[in-house]
Chain A
Amino acid sequence: MVKNALAAVAVFLLLGAAAYASFFIAPTDAKQGLIYRILFFHVSSAWTGLTAFFICFVGNLMYVWRREPRWDWLGISAAEVGLAFTTVVLVTGPIWAHPVWGIWWTWDARLTSTFVLWLLYVSYVLLRTLVEEPDRRALFSALFGIFAFLDVPLVFGSIRWWRTQHPQPIVMGGPGAGLDPTMWNVLRFSWLAMLALMTLLLMARYKLEAMRGDLEIVRREAEGT
C-alpha cells in the first residue's frame, strides 16, 4: 500500500517536472508561438501509446506460446492503457492542428493510421467482452492482437504511399530534424514521465485483472461443487 502510494507520488512529481519543463524551459517556437508546447504532451503520449501496444503484442505472443493467464492479463492491461494514451493523442492532435494548420483533421498517413490503430484495439477490447469462456477469450484475443499489431505497418505504408496528394502538414508534422536541442531534451524527458505513468497504470490494471482471474476460478469452483 505504502509502496504504491510512494510510486504514485514519484510519478506525479515526474509529470509535474515534465510540465514545468514544457512550459518554462523549452524555448517558444518562432513560427507557432505558445501552442507548439502541446507537442510535449501529444508526441510523448503517442510514443507511450505505441510502447503499450508493443507490450500488448509481446503479451499476446507469450500467451499463445506459454498459455499462462498472466500473459493474457498483461495483454489486456497494456491494450487498455495504450488506448488511453492514443485517445489523448487523438484529442490533443486536433487542438494543436486547428490553430496551426487551420483545420481540425487531415487524412494524412500518421493521423489516419493512428486512428485505425485506435479502432483495431477498440475491436480487441470489444472482442474480449463477447467471448465467455476465459481460456478461449484469452487465446482468441491474443491471436487477434498479433494480427492487429502486424497490420499497423501495412496500414501506415499503404496510406503513406497513396494518399500523399492530400494536404500535408505545413509546419512541423512532428518532431523533425529541425527541432531545437533543448526541445528535444524536454520531449525526451516528457516521454520518460509518460512511460512512468504508463507503468503505474499498467501495474494497477494488471493487478485488477489478476484479481478478476482469481475470482473467476473461485466462482467456478463454488459453482462446480
Chain B
Amino acid sequence: MALLSNTAVLLGKELRTEFRSRELLTTTVVFILIVIVLFSFTFDPTSDESRRFGSGLLWLAFLFAASLMLQPCFLREQTNDTLSALRLSVSDPFAIFLAKLAANTLFLLLTELFLLPLFAMMYNVPVVGVLPWLVLVFALGSLGISIAGTALSAISAQARMRELLLPLLMLPLLTPILVASTEITKGLLDRAPYVQWKGIGFLAIFDLVFLTVLWLFGEYLLEE
C-alpha cells in the first residue's frame, strides 16, 4: 500500500512539473506532426495506400517521438540532484519508476490521441468506428514504450552522448512493440476492420515481462 500511495504522490509531482510548462507535450506534438507531414512525401497518400502504410507510419512516429520525449525524464532530476531526495523520500524505489512511467505513458497517450484525428483527416482513414480499440492499442503500446524507455533513460542520463544513446538502446529493444502495434492498428484501419486479440495479448505480455524485470532490477538503476 505504501508503494501505491508513494507512487500517487510522485505521479502528482511529475504531472504538476509538466503541466506548469507543458514543454514536453507541445514539442512532442509538433515533432509527430512534422513526421506525419514529411511521410506524405514518401508515398502516394491515397486512402488505400494510407491504410497499408499508415499504421507503420504512426507507430514509427510515436517511437521516435518517445525516444526524444523520454530524454529529460531522469536528466532533469540531476540539475539539483533531486533524485537523491526522491530516493530518500520513498520506502520502495520502484515507486519512482512507477510514477515516472505512468506519467510518460499518459503524456504519450495524450499526444497520440491529440494527433489521431489529424492523421485520420489528412490521410483519409476513418477511425471513429474503431476508436475504443485504437485507444486500447495506443495505451498498451505506449505503456510498453514507457516501461522500457523510462528504465533506459535512467541509464542514458548518466552516460556521454546521452541524446544519441537513448534511441540506440531503446529502438532495437522495442522492435516487438513496433511489429505488434503496427499490425493490430493495420487491422483496425482496414476497410473491414478486425480486432487481433492475439496481438493485444502479445502487447500485454510484453508490458508484463518488462514491468517484472523493472520491478526486480529497477532499484539498481538508481544507485549512487
Contacts and interface: CB of A to CB of B under 8 A. Distances in A.
A147 interface: yes
B92 to A, nearest CB: 18
B151 interface: yes
Interface in B161-187: 161, 165, 168-169, 172-173, 175-176, 179-180, 183
A151 B198 CA distance: 18
Given A131-B159, A157-B202, A147 B151 contact: yes
B3 interface: no
A161 B202 contact: yes
Contact of B176 (A119, A139, A143, A155): A155
Contacts of B168: 123, 126-127
A130 interface: yes
B160 interface: yes
A132 B176 contact: no
Contact of A143 (B161, B180, B221): B221
Interface string A68-79: 000000000000
Interface in A103-144: 116, 119-120, 123, 126-127, 130-132, 136, 139-140, 143-144
Residue of A116, A119, A154 with most partner-chain B CB within 10 A: A154
Interface residues of A, number: 28
Interface residues of B, number: 30
Contacts of B155: 127, 140, 143-144
A144 B217 CA distance: 10
B169 A162 contact: no
A144 B168 CA distance: 12
B223 interface: yes
Contact of B159 (A130, A147, A151, A161): A130
Contacts of B118: none
A64 interface: yes
A158 B172 contact: no
A159 B179 contact: yes
A19 interface: no
B165 A162 contact: no
Contact of A154 (B151, B176, B198, B223): B176
A139 B175 contact: no
Contacts of A177: none
Given A154-B206, A162-B179, A116 B172 contact: yes
A154 to B, nearest CB: 4
Contact of A120 (B173, B179, B221): B173
B41 interface: no
A146 B155 CA distance: 13
B223 A139 contact: yes
A132 B160 contact: yes
B110 interface: no
A151 B173 contact: yes
A218 B114 CA distance: 56
A21 interface: no
B220 A143 contact: yes
B2 to A, nearest CB: 25
Contacts of B217: 64, 143, 146
A161 B180 CA distance: 9
B86 interface: no
A130 B213 contact: no
B160 A116 contact: no
Contacts of B160: 130-132
Contacts of B198: 161
Contacts of B91: none
Given A154-B176, A158-B175, A158-B202, 15 more contacts: A119-B172, A126-B168, A127-B168, A130-B160, A131-B159, A143-B217, A147-B173, A151-B173, A155-B175, A157-B176, A157-B202, A158-B179, A161-B198, A161-B199, A162-B183
Interface of A: 64, 116, 119-120, 123, 126-127, 130-132, 136, 139-140, 143-144, 146-148, 150-151, 154-155, 157-159, 161-163
10 contacts: A140-B158, A147-B173, A154-B206, A155-B176, A158-B176, A161-B198, A161-B202, A162-B179, A162-B183, A163-B179
